Each structure stands twice: as structure tokens, then as C-alpha cells.
Amino acid sequence: MALTKNKKVLEFVESCSSLTQPDNIVWIDGSANQIKQLKEEAVKSGELIKLNQNLLPDCYLHRTKVNDVARVEDRTFICTKNKDDAGPVNYWMDPKQAYELTREIARGSMKGRTMYVIPYSMGVVGSDFAKIGIEVTDSIYVVLNMNIMTRVGVNCLKALGKNGDFIKGLHAKCNVDADNRYIMHFPEDNTIISVNSAYGGNVLLGKKCFALRIASYLGKNEGWMAEHMLILGVTFPDQTKKYIAAAFPSACGKTNLAMLIPPKHYLDKGYKVECVGDDIAWIRVGEDGRLWAVNPENGFFGVAPGTNEKSNLNALETTRRGTIFTNVALNTDDMTVWWEGLSEKPEHCIDWTGKPWNGEGKAAHPNSRFTAPAVNCPCVSPDFNSKKGVPLSAIVFGGRRASATPLVYQSRDWKHGVFVGSAMSSETTAAATGATGVLRHDPMAMKPFTGYHMGDYFAHWIDMGKKIKNPPKIFNVNWFRQDKNGNFMWPGFGDNMRVLEWILKRCSDNPVDAEETPIGFVPKAEDIDLTGLDYDIGTLKEILTVDKQTWFKEAEEIENYYNGVIGSRIPDELWACLNELKENCKVTARETAKKPAAKKTDTAKKPTAKSPSSAKKATAAKSTANKK
Ligand code: SAT
Ligand code: MN
């Protein structure tokens, strides 16, 4: 029975059911009882495998079809009336054509199936930030995942009232036919249609489709920002707190950074890191002129491989109950889960395709995932459900770069920070179909997620800067520098705290000193606290060095991207930053003779006491870790 009198909702549900012709319609009320029944049904049908309920209570395993394991960027479309408004880095389709195409595919596709109507809220129901969506789907897996990832149920319909507007989402599994798979966004109609997939980012419509692609478009029009960012809070020994939002491409370690456990001596001193979000931030200007951020999600859809007690104990603990695992391996000895990098290989296991694993190839798919409730997380922030969000001291951009980009640098101001974000490149990962390890431009880690023209998105960032009286400082980090033998040069994971500390010291009223380089401010190596780490300060110096020639080439590459890809909508402020970078990186004949590039001290800032550093010998361990 319909759970609302909102005519727009009823009309939408009716239009979906007359198109797809399901046998039944079930409204998801969000009650524990209904969710329990759906899990039982999914176990019966084989859609979920019940795991060991003693070791992993309320945990299940799901396997997707082998052709349906990641987001499909080349089948994801932004359907604006004007092709230009979708811009150069999105795939575009005329809305009329896209509606016709997907409606034809979805027509009658739910015959013999049940259609579920999921009312959900992105953000705390009823808060100023929150927005309501209705997702109609024929997949129990989607219902159960949405129930973890978002706030689901009747209170969302209540918040909507009789007349409220919402984001419409239709998901029809159809035959999971990769050749007819489409993820369509109609930002001008607040509508999403997804057909022929049953994998996470393509079908959990509250996530990338709504909370980033549609929301970024809404944010541009309404004066706020939807970003692909984790949010974390650092508590200092004196109990003050500061918050950081950080943008990294998919599968580059956002979940690990968001749940970081600081090294022992930081814990001993009283430092604490708490997680507000691991993937998406909705950001507004507060009355105090600062930026305030919320995480609109309610759970974590994290990459499983590489997650272990050392890399992310908090994530592991988060997945110990109430979790749905997708495409990991099944340890048949004790009916628990396994993935590469978790622990020793199990004696007997079934790989992600459902076949006994003989130890060759991967047991878990590289993009296998856990869907886990945020409340499970041992370090979830007490501000997780805050209606007004948390104030940002720093914004951090980061990519996966084997060379060129130093461990950390700070931009000169907001505009320059926007330039740094716009110039981001990163090596591709298994989160999307296609080749991995290929360097590509991924501005603000939003290349696959901006619901409008990338040049206008840059301009929106610049415009936002004009409204923020007390802007956060903007930084760039790179945990992934490699030496000539392919070894990572920075340990990453919990040791990233050492870099976060420097970042936050730069955000204080009495900032720590820094070196000015052609690309921005880098730390003096002695100011990164290496206490307790077996690490060579020489290596640190190396990954803090900015090589002018390399960066001149980077600047030319950015120029090619600006000119050749993004084009005329790039704001003048960013061109000015690019020209400045080129100017700063011009190498004189004399400099060529005596490298490396000269640095000068940041005289604008008052130097403060240096943090203790006790560098020990040895180089960074050879590492195969993939998300630091
Ligand atoms: O598959 S998702 O888009 O949900 C996760 C990701 O790629 O970041
Ligand atoms: Mn993501």
C-alpha cells in the first residue's frame, strides 16, 4: 500500500509501474521487520549468501554478474537539452532520445518481479542540507544496500509532505545486458534512469548519481557544492577539533584516510581522528563565513581488497556486522569472507565468480566492496548526524602519482587552490571499467561525477570563493610516489597523520614555516614529525622536492588539457594561475647547470616552533599496498 499522499510521488510510482509492469509493488517503510524479511527472501533466491552468523552477525555475500563489476563511465550520460551544458568530459545524450531509449529497454521488464519503492534521504532527515529521493527498483540487493547507505523509510515521506519535490530514480535490472546498460541523468528534470546493471555505483542511485551528479548541478544553481570528498575530524591534545575534507579519485584510499589510526606517539599525546564521511561531502557557506560540510550518506561502500588490520582496522571492525559484501571470496571452511590483502590465503575458498579458487588469479574482484553502516565504525564522529555539519579548516586534493607531485604542498590562496584541484591527474583504478594504471586528468576527483560542464564547475568553485569570508586552506597530497624500482616512497596509511598534522599547523593562527616553491608551499622536512618511524629523512626530502623542469612539462600538459579538452568556459583566474606556474617553472640556463630548483622561505608567515623529528635511517619499505 502506498505510504504517502504526495501526488507527485504517487504519479511517479504509477508511471514506473505502468512502464515496467511488475507483479507486485512493495513500499519500503524502513522497519527492521521488513528489512529482515527481504534478507530472508534474498537468501532463499540465492541473491544473498548468509555468512557465519556467529562470526559475522547479520552479514551477507552477494555476487554480481561477471560483466557487471564496476561503474561504466562510457555508458553514463548527462542528458541536458543543450549538449554544451553537459560539457566536454561527460557523455551526452539528447533527453528525448535518452528517455525513449531507456523506456523501451525498461518496458515490461519487471513482469513476474516485484517493484520496490524506496523513499530515502541524503542527509539527516529534515535538516537544511537534506534532500529526498525516491528510488524505484526491482532488486532486493539495491533495497538492502540503500537501506545501509542512506536514511530510508516513512519519515522521508513525512518530510516530503503532500507537495514536496524529490529526485526521481528508476532502476530496472532487466537482463543485466552490458550492451544495453545505460546510466542516464536528467539534471534539468531531477531524474535518473539506470537499466541493465545491478552493481553499486550504477544502481544505488542516492550515491554517485544523485549525491554527486545531480547534486553538483543543484549546487551550482543554489550556491553550494557537492564534492567527491571524505570528511575527517582531528582532535588535538588540548581537545580542540579541526575538520578536513579531502578529494581523491575512487579506490585511492579515501576510506583509509577517513578512518586513519594515528601512530602511537600521537595517540599517547591525545590526538584522535574521527570519521564524518568517506566519499561524499555537501558543502555550504555558514553564517560565520566558513565552509560547513555534511556527509549525505549513512554507510560506507568501501573497496575490500587491501583492507586489513594494519591498513584500516576501523573499516574492518565496521564490516563485522550488518554488512553486505559484494564480489569478495567466500571462505568455505568457516563461511566468512576473504580478499587479497586481508590475511593468509584461506585453505578453501570460492572466488568472486562462484568457482572454487585454486590460488591462481584473484579470489576477490579488485573492485569488490563492503556496504557497512556508519554507526558500526569505531571512529565515527559524534558530529556524524549533525544537522549543520562541520566547519572546514582545510581542503585536500590528492591523486595517485608515481612521480612529479610532492608528498604535500599548500596552494597560495583559494583561487590557486582551485587551480591545483582543476589540474589534478591520477592513475585509473578498478572502480570503473577500462584499463587501470593509466594517468588521466581528474579535476577535484570529479571527472566521472560532475553533472554539468567542467569549465562551469571550475567557475562555480571560483564564485564560491568570493562568498567565503574565512575560506579553508587548500592543499594537495600524493601518498603514491615511487622510486625507480617501483617501491612506494612514503609509508602511507596511519603515517599520513604526520602530513595531516603539518596541514593543520598551516591552518592555525600561528602557522608553521614552509618553503615557497614554484607550485606552492612545501614543508621543511624537519617539520614533518617522523617520531617512531623507521624512515630516512633523505627520502622525505626527495619527495618534498619540486623539480622545475618536470613542473614546466606538467604546466604544458595542463595547458593542453585546458585548451584541448575543457575549452572556453575556463575562468580567467585559472588561466592566470597557469601562466604563473609556467613563469615560475621556467628554467634559466644557469639553473639547468646546477639543479635542483631553488626554494625560498615563506616569509609571509611567522615561523613557529618546529615539531620534534627523530628521523631514523632506512628507506620506505617496498610496498604493494594499493590504497594508502
Ligand atoms: O561504485 S561507486 O561509484 O559507488 C564507488 C566509487 O567508484 O567511488
Ligand atoms: Mn567514490
CB of 168 within 6 A of ligand 1: the answer is no
7-47+71-223 against 227-295+382-545: fold identical: no
Q: Which ligand 1 atom minimizes the distance to the CA of 249?
A: 8
CATH assignment, 299-376: 2.170.8.10
CB 419 within 8 Å of CB 574: yes
Does residue 374 carry a pLDDT above 70? yes
Does residue 614 carry a pLDDT above 50? no
Query: How far apart, in whole angstroms, are the C-alpha atoms of residue 9 and residue 277?
Result: 29
Query: What are 545-565's pLDDT values in tens digits?
Result: 999 999 999 999 999 999 999
**What are the distances in angstroms from CA 533 to CA 277, 406, 486?**
28, 19, 21
CB of 203 within 6 A of ligand 1: the answer is no
pLDDT, position 625: 55
Pocket probe mutation, ligand 1, options 69, 207, 442, max atoms within 8 Å of Cβ: 207
Query: How far apart, in whole angstroms, are the C-alpha atoms of residue 129 and residue 218?
Result: 12
Q: How far away, in angstroms, is 284 Cα from ligand 2 center?
A: 20
CB of 60 within 6 A of ligand 1: the answer is no
Phi, psi of 561 (to 5 degrees): -65, -50
Q: Mind spelling out the 3-state secondary structure of 154-193?
A: HHHHHHHCCCCCCEEEEEECCCCCHHHCEEEEEHHHCEEE
Which residues are 226's β-sheet partners? 282
Query: What are 518-539's pLDDT values in tens digits?
Result: 999 999 999 999 999 999 999 9
Other CB atoms within 10 A of residue 55 CB? 14
Query: What are 418-471's pLDDT values in tens digits?
Result: 999 999 999 999 999 999 999 999 999 999 999 999 999 999 999 999 999 999
Q: What ligand is nearest to the CA atom of residue 277? A: 2
Cα–chain center distance at 333:
34
- Average pLDDT value for residue range 265-276: 98
For residue 304, the one-letter residue type is A
CB 592 within 8 Å of CB 273: no
Q: How far away, in angstroms, is 625 Cα from ligand 1 center?
A: 19
What fold does the segment set 7-47+71-223 form as a domain?
Phosphoenolpyruvate Carboxykinase; domain 1 (3.40.449)
Residue 252 a catalytic site member: yes
Q: How far away, in angstroms, is 279 Cα from ligand 2 center?
A: 5
Angle at alpha carbon of residue 233, lines to 373 and 408, rounded to 5°: 115
Q: How far away, in angstroms, is 578 Cα from ligand 1 center?
A: 31
Q: Which ligand 1 atom minimizes the distance to the CA of 208?
A: 3
CB of 253 within 6 A of ligand 1: the answer is no
C-alpha radius of gyration, the chain, whole number: 24
- Average pLDDT value for residue range 354-371: 97
CB 338 within 8 Å of CB 349: yes
- Average pLDDT value for residue range 574-592: 90
Does residue 592 carry a pLDDT above 90? no
CB of 409 within 6 A of ligand 1: the answer is no
Residue 622: exposure state from Cβ atoms within 10 A (0-12, 13-18, ≥19): exposed
Q: Where are the alpha helices (DSSP H) in 319-453?
A: 414-422
pLDDT: is 1 or 89 the higher one? Answer: 89
Q: How far away, in angstroms, is 519 Cα from ligand 1 center?
A: 31
pLDDT, position 610: 34
Query: What are 193-213's pLDDT values in tens digits?
Result: 999 999 999 999 999 999 999
Tell the residue nearest (CA) to atom 6 of ligand 1.
250
CB of 461 within 6 A of ligand 1: the answer is no
Grid cell 572466488 is found at: 351
pLDDT, position 595: 57
Structural domain boundaries in the chain: 7-47+71-223, 227-295+382-545, 299-376, 549-605
CB 298 within 8 Å of CB 234: no
CB of 207 within 6 A of ligand 1: the answer is yes
* CA proximity to 210, closest of 181, 250, 169, 245: 169
Rounded percentage of the chain residues whose pLDDT exceeds 70: 95
pLDDT, position 591: 76
Any idea which of 230-239, 426-435, 523-532, 608-617 has the lowest mean pLDDT? 608-617
Phi, psi of 314 (to 5 degrees): -65, -40
Query: What are 130-164's pLDDT values in tens digits?
Result: 999 999 999 999 999 999 999 999 999 999 999 99
CB 228 within 8 Å of CB 444: yes
Does residue 621 carry a pLDDT above 50? no
What value does the mean pLDDT of the chain take? Answer: 94
Which residues are 397's β-sheet partners? 247, 476
Does residue 617 carry a pLDDT above 50? no
Query: In this structure, what DSSP letter does residue 462 have?
Result: H
Pocket probe mutation, ligand 1, options 64, 248, 250, 442, max atoms within 8 Å of Cβ: 250
Cis peptide before 596 (omega within 30 of 0): yes
Architecture label for domain 227-295+382-545: Alpha-Beta Complex (3.90)
CB of 416 within 6 A of ligand 1: the answer is no
pLDDT, position 590: 72
CB of 185 within 6 A of ligand 1: the answer is no
Tell the residue nearest (CA) to atom 3 of ligand 1.
201
Pocket probe mutation, ligand 1, options 301, 327, 433, 436, max atoms within 8 Å of Cβ: 301
Query: What are 3-57's pLDDT values in tens digits?
Result: 999 999 999 999 999 999 999 999 999 999 999 999 999 999 999 999 999 999 9
Buried/exposed 19-54: b ≥16 CB within 10 Å, e otherwise: bbbbeebbbbbbeeebbeebbeebeeeebbbebeee
